[in-house]
Structure formats: C-alpha cells, structure tokens
Structure 1
Amino acid sequence: MASASRDGRPGRGRKTAGSGGRGTSGAPRGSQQGSGAQQGRSRKPHRKGSSPDVESGRVRLNNAKPARHQTVNVDGDGATYVSDGVRLQKVLAAAGVASRRGAEELIAAGRVQVDGEVIRSQGLRVDPNTAIIKVDGARVIVDETKQYLALNKPRGWHSTMSDDQGRPCIGDLVAERVMAGQRLFHVGRLDAETEGLILLTNDGELAHRLMHPSFEVPKTYLATVRGEAARGLGRTLRGGIELDDGPARVDHLAMLDVHQGESLLRLTLHEGRKRIVRRMLAEVGHPVIRLVRTDIGAVTLGKQRPGSLRVLDNREIGALYKAVDL
C-alpha cells in the first residue's frame, strides 16, 4: 500500500513503513525513498526550510494520554488524505503529545500510525473525529475541546469578557458556554461603537498569531463617513498618513456609494492599533458615522445577525492557520 507523500497525498512506488531502510527523513539530503518516478515529483518544503530530526524523534518523550478504548477496528487500507482536514502534527500537538515540531520528529521517526499505517512523511491531513491515531502503538486522545467561533458584536457592546461597570460586553453573549466550562477569549478588539466580526477561541497560539502584526492578517471594514469622498482618497490612504503613534496606511480602499453628503467605503488593512480606522478617516476629513468589521482573513461576517455566534468550519479554520504559518 502506498504511504503518504510530502503533501499528505498517497505516493506511488514509495516503500511503506516497516519495509526497511532509514525512511524518508533518515535518507541523505536530496534523496527519496521509492522508485525513480517519485524523484521528479515536486515537494512542498518543510516549514522553515528544514527537515525534522529523526534521531531526536526516536528518543523524544511521548506525552500522549492513552484513550480509554484501545481496541478499535480499522476499516480501509490505511491513512486517508482529507483535503480540508487538519495536519497530523497539529492534531498531535492539540492532543498534548508534543509540540508541533516534536510531533513532526515523532512522525519522521516512524512512531505515529494513522488508521493502521505508519506515517513518516509530513503534511498528512486527517479528520481528527474519525482517524484512529496511535503513538508508539497506543491510541491517543484527540483534543476535541478546541473552539473556534465567529461573533457579530452589536454596536454599543464592549470587547471584554466581563465589565466591572455592568456595561454590556461580549462575555454576556457567551456566558452559557463559559458556565459550561469553556474558557474563551477574543481575538483582537473593537471599540464599543464599532460593530461586526470578532473571533472567539480557546486556541491560544492561533489567537496570539492572529493578533501579532508580523503575520499581517488582513481585516476588512465597511465605513459610512461624513462628506463626499474624493477619487484620490484611496491613493492617499494607500500611500500612508501620519498619526500620533506613527504612519498608517490601508491595503485597499473602494468607494461603494455617495449619497446626501455621506460616503460608504470598504477598506482593508492589516494593522490593529486602537481605533486606527476611525483615526485615519478623521485625519483625511471624513469622520466615521458607522463602522462594521466584515472580514478577518478568510472568515467573513456574511448575513450573521448582530449578537449571534456561529462555529467556524474546517475550511475557515484551516485558512486561519495557513495565514499565520501554523
């Protein structure tokens, strides 16, 4: 049976795990296991351009918590690549087996099985809800507690999980989930008068990266402003303007409508400084009347009603991870 290729798809002519040799990661740089047909196939480079250390993987501590039910029938012919699934190393990290890097080393050392097949190549995407994953022969508990939610924050609500002055806040909207034991926190903030999309999660690393300016995750807003915006406004804001805390610019601006002394603008930027959209537009003479955040990366607000929550789908979660190199 074919094993998974570097991108997780089944390879042709490759040796399966346990067929002898040092395995893909143990081979000299530039060499590959299997037939010559595999030599010409394009390979996705490993994260940060390096390969997992097989020797470290052989001695790495396995922190996996064994699942209660170890004897499970495995159907099919081994691991199945799921295009919208979760990378195996990410699943292992979420299960507490090791860090993502450590999980990659465990995979390279041949210590990880998926649906009865030993996986040595990086990048296999699986469905964590159906895949039977074992480390050192023991089935592990896959962490199913991760939450990824989209909230349409209403105008007048504060971007906090609690408010000592009794003002309405997003914590009120998820109070039942918190009381049920979920520890949620918001990704970024919106000022009280700004409405729209906020992400809620208990995935700390993803949240940290989404908020970190180095990853430049784009955010899109609809702004109703005073005054009829001139055609050169987009060029001005893309070129950058000086604010009290330094220069700021938008990545894209589109004028959608001008009516009775007001303009409707759609603008995208990747910065997240406090009230930056309002300050930029005020600086160019167009104070904001209404501001709605509609998109964070690949996640869009759509027709979600104010105050409502929805669970992100696998495609959206995967796109967020891709945007921040996870």
Structure 2
Amino acid sequence: MTPFEIPPWDDNAEPQGVRLQKVMAAAGVASRRVSEQLIEAGRVEVNGQVVIELGRRIDPVNDQVSVDGVAVQLDPAKRYVMLNKPIGIVSSLADQYGRPDLQRYTEQYEERLFNVGRLDAETSGLLILTNDGDLAHVLAHPSFGVLKTYIAKVDGRVSPQTVSKLTNGIDLEDGPISADKARLLDVDRETSIVELTLHSGRNRIVRRMLHEVGHPVTELVRRSFGPLNLGTLKAGGLRDLTKVEVGLLLTLSRDAIDEVGPPAAGSEESDGSPQSVEETEE
C-alpha cells in the first residue's frame, strides 16, 4: 500500500459510487429535486429493486436504473440514431463493390456508428445506427425475436384467405414460417398493399413469403423495429432517438435477456459491431 492509499476500513474514506438522484439528473431523467421525488415515490429501481432512500449510491457503469419500469441510459457516450434507408443503399459501412453504402450517413457523426441488422438494397425503411454493441447484439440476434413490421406492395389481388395463410404458416425451402400478424391494407385491380409483422431474421423472408403465396413484392419498406416507428422521417433522413425511445429499447433488451439469457459468447466481432450476428436481409 502506498502512503496515499486509503484503507477500506478508514472512517474518513469517501463513500463509494454516485448518488442516485445525481446520476438520474445527469442522464436527463429530470432535475435532481424531481429525481428525489421519483425515488421517494417508489418509482425508481436499481438492478430490479425499488429504491426509496435518497442516500443510495450507485455505480453508473455497472448498475441498471429504471423509472416506472422503463430503463434509463446512463452512458452519455452511447448514441442511437434512426435512419430511413432509401432504396439503392447497401446495408454495409464499406461495400466491397463500391456501391452506395451507409458510410455517407455514419460519417456525419463523431462516434463510430454501425447498423443493427440489414435491409437489402431494394428495401427502404427503418434502420438503427448505434455505437452500443451490447444493445445492438440483442436487437439483431435471432434468438431474441424482436418484432419488425413491413409494408409491401405486391402484384395481384391478395385475398383474405391468403392473409390467413401467411399467419397460419407456409413452407419454404428452409423450413416453415408464419407471420406474427398480417393484414390487407389496400387492393386495386392489379396490386395490393400488405402489412406483415414478424420476428424472424431469415434472409429476405418477407419477399420469399409473399412470393410463395403468389404475390411477388414490387416495393417494400420497414415501418417499425421493436418499439420504434418510422413516423414521418423522410427517405435518407436521420434523427437521434429520444430518451423515451432509447429507454424502451433498453427495456426490451433487458427483458429479453432476463427471459432468454445473454447471447452466446463469440458471436460478436471484437469491436462490438453486431454485423456477424444477423447478416440477413429482409
């Protein structure tokens, strides 16, 4: 022990950790005073346990905080961005064939962002860009079954019977598959608009399902990913997720890990990028 180290039994040693209300205020939950009120009201949990003591100290790096059941992001270095990927953009940060890729979007940020999962070049819609490898790994990993919703324009008039077939299950070359939800949005003489919600991460699964029931896709857009919705974000548009949206994603991630367990070790690249987890395209 050096002369400047304080032994753990020293009564004058500084308390370990940071006061919970200070951490909450720094995370943008509320002012320190309002955070104290939330704690006293029993609305705050640390590592799954309700905390009502204002003197509680936590480790912002390792402890998990939630308010009203919604997780709080404590690391200010993490960034979460929504992109409405346009048609013609490859879901890669450096396409080996020189095609337009995601680098034109990620280079706008100081952080080294990567995409969560993929959309093929001819599919547009919601794509998440982040530098949070742990969260991205859960969102992209097939075992966690995060729901995604797509709107497809297809050839032909889709019947109610066909919609039922999509939810009841069909057989593809790589096994049976069923949509979690399916509904017909519009029909005209030559085309139909179908909404599909599913959790499968199989390659080009939406296009293959609709082709199998006799209605090839001509246009496809992903409208939602987990709790996120594309809203009015225009093609090629970017925006940071709100604190509420980040909280919902973190809550989904934590709940999935509690239910399924952590992803298998060794399935992520060493830099935290989840690209090796889900190389599928919808």
Q: Same fold (TM over 0.5)?
A: yes
Distance (whole Å) between structure 1 residues aligned to residue 213 and residue 144 of structure 2: 27
Aligned to 1:295: 224
SS of structure 2 residue aligned to 1:117: coil
* Cα contact 1:81–1:124 (8 A) shared by 2: no
Residue correspondence of structure 1 range 238-317 to structure 2 within 5 A: 238-317=167-246
Distance (whole Å) between structure 2 residues aligned to residue 124 and residue 226 of structure 1: 48
Aligned to 1:162: 94
Q: Which amino acid aligns with 1:81?
A: L
Distance (whole Å) between structure 2 residues aligned to residue 266 and residue 220 of structure 1: 7
Aligned to 2:159: 230
Is the aligned partner of 1:79 residue 2:36?
Answer: yes
Work out the percentage of aligned pairs sharing the same amino acid.
Answer: 42
SS of structure 2 residue aligned to 1:279: helix
Distance (whole Å) between structure 1 residues aligned to residue 142 and residue 32 of structure 2: 45
* Cα contact 2:170–2:177 (8 A) shared by 1: yes
Deviations 1:238-271 (A, max 9, x none): 1111112111110111111111310001110011
SS of structure 1 residue aligned to 2:254: coil
Deviations 1:202-257 (A, max 9, x none): 11111111112222211000000000001111210111111121111101111111
Aligned to 1:221: 150
* Cα contact 1:252–1:268 (8 A) shared by 2: yes
* Cα contact 1:81–1:125 (8 A) shared by 2: no
TM-aligned CA distance change 1:176 to 1:123, over 3 Å: closer
Is the aligned partner of 1:171 residue 2:103?
Answer: yes
Q: Which amino acid aligns with 2:228?
A: V
Deviations 1:74-126 (A, max 9, x none): 9649834389x99655xxxxxxxxxxxxxx8xx99x9xx99x62259x97536
SS of structure 1 residue aligned to 2:249: helix
- Which consecutive unaligned segments of at least 5 residues does structure 1 have? 1-61, 66-73, 90-103, 132-141
Distance (whole Å) between structure 1 residues aligned to residue 153 and residue 56 of structure 2: 56
Distance (whole Å) between structure 2 residues aligned to residue 185 and residue 321 of structure 1: 17
Residue correspondence of structure 1 range 35-184 to structure 2 within 5 A: 76=33, 79-81=36-38, 88-89=46-47, 117-118=55-56, 125=66, 143-177=75-109, 180=110, 182-184=111-113
SS of structure 1 residue aligned to 2:38: coil
Distance (whole Å) between structure 1 residues aligned to residue 234 and residue 55 of structure 2: 45
Distance (whole Å) between structure 1 residues aligned to residue 241 and residue 81 of structure 2: 6
Distance (whole Å) between structure 1 residues aligned to residue 106 and residue 34 of structure 2: 42
TM-aligned CA distance change 1:75 to 1:287, over 3 Å: closer
Distance (whole Å) between structure 1 residues aligned to residue 44 and residue 127 of structure 2: 23
CA shift, 1:148, in A, is 0.8
CA shift, 1:151, in A, is 0.4
* Cα contact 2:38–2:44 (8 A) shared by 1: no
Aligned to 2:280: none
Instruction: Give me the CA root mean square deviation.
Output: 3.3
Distance (whole Å) between structure 1 residues aligned to residue 77 and residue 186 of structure 2: 44
Structure with more relative contact order (C-alpha pairs < 8 Å, separation 6 or more): 2
Distance (whole Å) between structure 2 residues aligned to residue 305 and residue 257 of structure 1: 22
- Which consecutive unaligned segments of at least 5 residues does structure 2 have? 1-14, 19-30, 256-282
Deviations 1:119-170 (A, max 9, x none): 59x97536xxxx9xxxxxxxxxx63110111100000110011112221111
TM-aligned CA distance change 1:78 to 1:226, over 3 Å: closer
